[in-house]
Amino acid sequence: MGENDDSDIIEHHVEEEMEKKGTRSHAASSSFLGSVSPSDREGHSSTQSSHRLLAYSDALISIIATVMILPVAHTKMEDNEELRESVQLLLTTKIAVYLMTFLIVTVAWAAHIRLFQVIVRIDDCLALLNLACMMLITFLPYTFSLMATFPEKILGILLFCGCVMVIGVIQSVIVLYAFSRPFLLNEQIQISENQIYYKHHILKVIMRVPLMCFFASIFSFIFFELSYVLLAIVIFLPYISQCLKWCRSKAIGQVDETPDSMLFYTYLPNEPLSKERVEAFSDGVYAIVATLLILDICEDNVPDPTVVKEQFGGSLVAALQAYGPEYLAYFGSFATVGLLWFVHHSLFLHVTKTTRFMGLLNTFSLAFVGGLPLAYQLTHEFPRNSRNELEAIQISCVIIFFAGIFQLTIWVVALYNEQETLHPYVRYGGREHVFMLAKLALYPCVALGTFFLTCILSKFSASIFHLMEITVPFAFLVLRLLVRVGLALLRQIFCPDRPDPRTVVEEEDDETRVPFNALVT
Amino acid sequence: MGENDDSDIIEHHVEEEMEKKGTRSHAASSSFLGSVSPSDREGHSSTQSSHRLLAYSDALISIIATVMILPVAHTKMEDNEELRESVQLLLTTKIAVYLMTFLIVTVAWAAHIRLFQVIVRIDDCLALLNLACMMLITFLPYTFSLMATFPEKILGILLFCGCVMVIGVIQSVIVLYAFSRPFLLNEQIQISENQIYYKHHILKVIMRVPLMCFFASIFSFIFFELSYVLLAIVIFLPYISQCLKWCRSKAIGQVDETPDSMLFYTYLPNEPLSKERVEAFSDGVYAIVATLLILDICEDNVPDPTVVKEQFGGSLVAALQAYGPEYLAYFGSFATVGLLWFVHHSLFLHVTKTTRFMGLLNTFSLAFVGGLPLAYQLTHEFPRNSRNELEAIQISCVIIFFAGIFQLTIWVVALYNEQETLHPYVRYGGREHVFMLAKLALYPCVALGTFFLTCILSKFSASIFHLMEITVPFAFLVLRLLVRVGLALLRQIFCPDRPDPRTVVEEEDDETRVPFNALVT
């Protein structure tokens, strides 16, 4: 590199960051550079793009969100015990704790996204403050599970509220610090005249949660049931308030009271949520979940040399045969989680803007995905053709079904507002649209089919389930072909002699070609 | 969004991908668009940017690389046993397995990077093939630990070689598939006339490893010691061949035989390694390592309500006090890992191009980081002022020291070729350079200092260690100030009346300002 490409590098830095926020910022990027006077930018050579800090935070949060599935997965179930009872025992405590922790952590994560949609550049001080914040967020699941295990003790409540309050205080310090150095802020706020108003609005929103936790911790000394009500309100507050606002705006058609330029901290269901971070968080969760079983296998299923010598007559093959079902469970769950990730990846490839509501649906989908390895492991822990095995298989199907259905719902929500949220070539009516729909519908349909088949042919449930596991990856591989054949068949059946649909399809073909033509010309 | 921004979106897609490969590609992007004829691009609406696939792969591989630390961490050590013996027991088997697995997985990861530096766009078929490849890579650590536990059984060798062979075959299929659809390839190869040569060269390099594994698995039936020699060659092959080539080129000044445009699959130490993927992989490892202890805490340290009632008289505080040291270990290790990530983040912010050699040093640094939670946990497992505690603390210091030293080495290597690998404003001599050096040197210096202090004042070793844990984050917070004070002091001491250094410093100031001036003008 030469001497004279300094400007190139800085521009590259700025571009990189603009890139993250989609197409809208592209137009604004020149005004951003123009808005900051040279004297402002001088001496801030220590400011950095926040990209990697956020990627690291996403990785940490996604690990923490899925961690409470481990106590569920490691609950030992005896073969002769009825699965129904064990599952009900699990359902009441550990699964509920897992789901609640997942929700709490994703609420914290959404707050983190909102914060760093306002603050787009960081310096060393902000990076260190964020690490402190992360440390407390990773401690949240533990305090929550203490609270859930000892609901009548105030220590759990105090610890949980303490964590949330400290997180809130750190986030407020981050906001104050960033507003004292405006070059760290989003360019929209940077050029705005209402900077003070924004600061107060954001601080108000952030401090609401720790304040309620403060009251909850005080009430815990007097009347601890009330603190739980307060905490429940805290967690569901954004969803409640956004539902109410959305209903009101739909019913009365009322204009929102926040200024038009206030895109952040609105709690509207179509408030933008950084697509990149939703992807990074989902990638983290899928990656952890896909490897959950191999972690156990690596730790527990390397037989002890002395045991092999004494119990299996030195035959390693015989010793490993006992673990056969666990390898099968691992490959099955890895393939299913991997394919669900693949569908998620295809879906978000077509999405241009993620909204809060889509983020919520994604959270639900991920929460079910987190339960998959557990369900797969259960399918192999019981004797063949037992009632337990059948139920474990059916639970696996139900989990796959819901994980898939929520992905499909994201697509439906995106279609509902397709002008804003989807690339033009996948909008309603094109061939890519049909293909995407087929991809999203494959897992729910297969899961539903397997569920009902196992109800009818309960004797062959294990074989049906394994057959499903093996065929689905190949179905994805030839899906494009299947969709074409299916469309052709439908056309043959419903309108065998009308020429119109064919021309409609050709028109669609033209439509899908548009981007490339437009690019070339 | 309007109807007429289709081209904008596609361009955005293309840009996004160009972005990943740094500044060099920017110049080439126009030629890329020009090189592909419209008819080539038509109908490939299903091709996608490979960015997210690679991010997911990096997440999976980073989890797998660190997973073999779990069997080490969960080895129970009794208090009264001498740590020296336990550590030696661990060193001989589990730690060696951990380090080897880490190395093997990172070799597989480097091969994956090389492959996807050639293939820059993907379609559904490639995504599914890659998932299959990932599934086998995640199984590698288990097969390796089987092989290590039963070195004289051929099953372990066969399983390991089988995995590697299948991975090699899948990667070859990926290469063949991509070369049959040239629009998926790197634009450099796409416009090249030597495409066939490239294909054969790449296939030759990829197939070398499975071929050697094939021979190793055959030899295992006859004379299994030979298979280990072959496998060792396989793992170290890239490093051996690159060292030899590098030495030869330095000694004789010989020109490399590969064509000048052949930037990939060269095994030279300065072969580019995608900086983004090195960052993503490191983020994954740091995130897993930082949360390793909280995973254990969440799973094991929620006391049972009945136990609390019976043993602690219903006092939760008393029950939790027993876990105190574990919380401390968690916060300590999270802070240390987080700060090492922070240093890594600062370092790679200034790096413009990552080379294979820097990647190797980074791997060593990460391998040490992986051992940190274990070391921190040990520091609290032994009685106060025991010999074991002292040794655990000293081991922690050694691990921190090496993790930090390898980061520093990356910086030194980057400086050695600073024109190519560093941003101009951090090159040797500027103030940012001094600041970066201070950041990188802080942990090794502190670790070394703590180590020697605990040798001298062994009675206060725990206090010294905790003091270190608490002060280091604050040291990072005020490091910029410290560096300035330090520089001023040095100036005062060594040349109290010479005015020259001051002007030199001012010149440096000018230099750091250059990027911004260049941007404004």
Number of separate domains in chain B: 2
Q: Which of B253-257, B375-379, B507-511 has the lowest mean pLDDT?
A: B507-511
- Which residue shows structure tokens 């968690």? B330
Nearest to A514 among B6, B12, B48 (CB): B6
The type of residue at B507 is: E
The type of residue at A19 is: E
| Mutation for B interface: A17, A516, A521, most B CBs within 10 A | A516
Cβ count within 10 A of residue B231: 22
HSE-up of B283 (CA within 13 Å, CB side)? 30
pLDDT tens, residue by residue, A324-348: 888 888 888 899 999 999 999 999 9
Instruction: Give chain A positions within 8 Å (CB) of B141.
Output: 294, 298
Kindly list the distances between the CA atom of residue A123 and the CA atoms of A48, A53, A183, B49, B482, in Å, as whole numbers in the listed order: 6, 10, 11, 30, 17
Per-residue pLDDT, B167: 93
Provide the 3-class DSSP secondary structure of residue B272. strand
Whether residue A269 lies inside any domain: the answer is no
Do residue A425 and residue B45 have CB atoms under 8 angstroms apart? yes
N-to-C CA span, chain B: 34
Pairing status of strand B121-122 against strand A121-122: unpaired
Token readout for B332 is 């300590």
pLDDT tens, residue by residue, A264-273: 676 666 777 8
Q: Which of A199-203, A243-247, A273-277, B201-205 has the lowest mean pLDDT?
A: A243-247
Q: Is the dihedral angle over the CA atoms B10, B13, B14, B15 positive or is it negative?
A: positive
**Phi and psi for A381 in degrees, rounded to 5?**
-90, -10
Token readout for A451 is 């569920």
The confidence band for A505, taking pLDDT boundaries of 50, 70 and 90, is very low
pLDDT higher than 60, residue B126: yes
Task: Please indicate, yes or no, whether residues B317 and B466 belong to a single structural domain of this protein.
Answer: yes
- From CA A238, how far away is CA A31, in angstroms rounded? 33
Q: Mean pLDDT, to the nearest integer, of A504-508? A: 41
pLDDT higher than 50, residue B500: no
Kindly list the distances between the CA atom of residue A431 and the CA atoms of A323, A442, A483, B5, in Å, as whole numbers in the listed order: 45, 17, 9, 20
Whether residue A514 lies inside any domain: the answer is no
- From CA A252, how far away is CA A239, in angstroms rounded? 20
Cβ count within 10 A of residue B496: 7
Whether residue A270 lies inside any domain: the answer is no
Query: What letters, b where the CB count within 10 A reaches 16 and e where it falls short, cover A147-178?
Result: bbbbeebbbbbbbbbbbbbbbbebbeebbeeb
Do residue B334 and residue A290 have CB atoms under 8 angstroms apart? no
**Residue A440 · residue A347 · CB < 8 Å:** yes
**Closest to A95 measured CA to CA, from A401, A334, A388, A374:** A374
Kindly list the distances between the CA atom of residue A169 and the CA atoms of A130, A181, A196, in Å, as whole numbers in the listed order: 12, 19, 19
User: A355 forms bridges with which residues in the sheet?
Assistant: A272
Q: Which domain holds residue B206?
A: 48-73+86-252
Query: What letters, b where the CB count within 10 A reaches 16 and e where it falls short, cover B165-196?
Result: bbbbebbeebbeebbebbbbbbbbbbbbeeee
Do residue B38 and residue A516 have CB atoms under 8 angstroms apart? yes
Instruction: Give chain B positions within 8 Å (CB) of A23.
Output: 1, 5, 8-9, 12
Nearest to B334 among A135, A302, A305 (CB): A135
Identify which has the larger pLDDT, B193 or B17.
B193
Instruction: Give chain B positions within 8 Å (CB) of A6.
Output: 424-425, 514-515, 518-519
Whether residue A67 lies inside any domain: the answer is yes
Task: Please indicate, yes or no, whether residues B94 and B164 belong to a single structural domain of this protein.
Answer: yes
The type of residue at A176 is: L
**Residue A387 · residue A455 · CB < 8 Å:** no
Pairing status of strand B48-49 against strand A121-122: unpaired
Do residue A125 and residue B477 have CB atoms under 8 angstroms apart? yes
Kindly list the distances between the CA atom of residue A173 and the CA atoms of A316, A405, B155, B238, B285, in Å, as whole numbers in the listed order: 59, 40, 58, 49, 29
Residue of chain A whose Cα is closest to the Cα of B130 = A338
- From CA A226, how far away is CA A219, in angstroms rounded? 7
Provide the 3-class DSSP secondary structure of residue B36. coil
Query: What letters, b where the CB count within 10 A reaches 16 and e where it falls short, cover B263-298?
Result: bbbbbbbbbbbbbbbbbbbbbbbbbbbbbbbbbbbb
Task: Please indicate, yes or no, whether residues A297 and A339 belong to a single structural domain of this protein.
Answer: yes
Element holding A208 (H helix, E strand) = helix A195-222
What's chain B's Rg over C-alpha atoms?
26
Task: Please indicate, yes or no, whether residues A97 and A57 belong to a single structural domain of this protein.
Answer: yes
Instruction: Give chain A positions within 8 Å (CB) of B517.
Output: 38
- From CA A363, how far away is CA A278, in angstroms rounded? 9
Instruction: Give chain B positions within 8 Å (CB) of A33.
Output: 519
Task: Please indicate, yes or no, whether residues B233 and B300 belong to a single structural domain of this protein.
Answer: no
Do residue A287 and residue B67 have CB atoms under 8 angstroms apart? no
**Distance of residue A501 Cα from the nearest chain B Cα, in angstroms:** 20
Whether residue B15 lies inside any domain: the answer is no
pLDDT higher than 80, residue B163: yes
- From CA A317, how far away is CA B510, in angstroms rounded? 70
**Closest to B200 measured CA to CA, from B257, B265, B269:** B265
**Closest to A127 measured CA to CA, from B343, B336, B172:** B343
Interface A–B counts its CB contacts (< 8 A) at 290
Nearest to A341 among B56, B145, B346 (CB): B56
Nearest to A516 among B8, B41, B55 (CB): B41
Whether residue B19 lies inside any domain: the answer is no
**Distance of residue B94 Cα from the nearest chain A Cα, in angstroms:** 11
Q: Which of A149-153, A330-334, A477-481, B77-81 has the lowest mean pLDDT?
A: B77-81
Q: Which of A124-133, B346-355, B454-463 has the lowest mean pLDDT?
A: B454-463
What's chain A's Rg over C-alpha atoms?
26
The confidence band for B513, taking pLDDT boundaries of 50, 70 and 90, is very low
SS (H, E, C) A125-151: HHHHHHHHHHHHHHHHHHHHHHHHHCC
Q: Which residues touch B39 (CB under 8 Å, ≥6 apart)?
A: none
pLDDT tens, residue by residue, B329-371: 888 889 999 999 999 999 998 888 888 888 889 999 999 998 8
Token readout for B448 is 């070394």
Instruction: Give chain B positions within 8 Å (CB) of A518.
Output: 4, 6-7, 10
Q: Mean pLDDT, to the nearest integer, of B464-481? A: 86
Residue of chain A whose Cα is closest to the Cα of B348 = A52
- From CA A86, how far away is CA A92, in angstroms rounded? 10
**Distance of residue B166 Cα from the nearest chain A Cα, in angstroms:** 15
Task: Please indicate, yes or no, whether residues B394 and B463 belong to a single structural domain of this protein.
Answer: yes
pLDDT higher than 90, residue A365: yes
The dihedral region occupied by A385, where left means phi > 0, alpha psi between -120 and 50, and beta the remainder, is left
- From CA B160, how far away is CA B154, in angstroms rounded? 10
Nearest to A41 among B294, B317, B516 (CB): B516
- From CA B233, how far away is CA B206, in angstroms rounded? 15
- From CA A174, how far away is CA A376, in angstroms rounded? 43
Q: Provide the H-helix boundaries in B223-323.
A: 224-252, 275-300, 305-311, 316-321
Q: Provide the H-helix boundaries in B351-478.
A: 356-379, 387-416, 418-421, 431-456, 461-477
Is pTM beyond 0.80? Reply is yes
Identify which has the larger pLDDT, A491 or B172.
B172
Task: Please indicate, yes or no, whether residues A219 and A313 belong to a single structural domain of this protein.
Answer: no
Element holding A348 (H helix, E strand) = helix A324-350
Instruction: Give chain A positions within 8 Å (CB) of B278.
Output: none
Token readout for A500 is 């119109």
Task: Please indicate, yes or no, whether residues B226 and B343 belong to a single structural domain of this protein.
Answer: no
Task: Please indicate, yes or no, whether residues B235 and B290 belong to a single structural domain of this protein.
Answer: no
Per-residue pLDDT, B206: 87
Q: Distance of alpha carbon B156 from its chain centroid, rounded?
A: 27
User: B48 forms bridges with which residues in the sheet?
Assistant: B122
Element holding B423 (H helix, E strand) = none
**Residue A292 · residue A335 · CB < 8 Å:** no
The confidence band for A282, taking pLDDT boundaries of 50, 70 and 90, is very high
Instruction: Give chain A positions within 8 Å (CB) of B283.
Output: 52, 55-56, 59
**Residue B354 · residue B278 · CB < 8 Å:** yes
Token readout for B264 is 């990939």
**Closest to A378 measured CA to CA, from A90, A99, A83, A85:** A83
Task: Please indicate, yes or no, whether residues B309 and B187 belong to a single structural domain of this protein.
Answer: no
Per-residue pLDDT, B38: 36
Instruction: State what percent of residues in chain A have pLDDT above 70.
Output: 79
Q: Which residues touch B100 (CB under 8 Å, ≥6 apart)?
A: B144, B148
Task: Please indicate, yes or no, whether residues B126 and B167 belong to a single structural domain of this protein.
Answer: yes
pLDDT tens, residue by residue, B28-62: 333 333 333 333 333 445 677 888 899 999 999 99
Whether residue A180 lies inside any domain: the answer is yes
What single DSSP character describes residue A256? P
Token readout for B193 is 């006339």
Q: Distance of alpha carbon A392 from its chain centroid, rounded?
A: 25
Token readout for B146 is 């089987």
The confidence band for A468, taking pLDDT boundaries of 50, 70 and 90, is confident
Q: Is the dihedral angle over the CA atoms A479, A482, A487, A488 positive or is it negative?
A: positive
**Closest to A230 measured CA to CA, from A219, A222, A238:** A219
- From CA A129, how far away is CA B13, in angstroms rounded? 34
Whether residue A503 lies inside any domain: the answer is no
Task: Please indicate, yes or no, whether residues B231 and B314 belong to a single structural domain of this protein.
Answer: no
The dihedral region occupied by B305, where left means phi > 0, alpha psi between -120 and 50, and beta the remainder, is alpha
pLDDT higher than 80, residue A354: yes
pLDDT higher than 70, residue B7: no
Do residue B291 and residue A67 have CB atoms under 8 angstroms apart? yes
Q: Provide the H-helix boundaries in B36-95.
A: 38-41, 51-67, 69-73, 83-90
The confidence band for B10, taking pLDDT boundaries of 50, 70 and 90, is very low
- From CA A49, how far away is CA A246, in angstroms rounded? 34
Provide the 3-class DSSP secondary structure of residue B416. helix
The dihedral region occupied by B336, where left means phi > 0, alpha psi between -120 and 50, and beta the remainder, is alpha
pLDDT tens, residue by residue, B272-288: 788 889 999 999 999 99
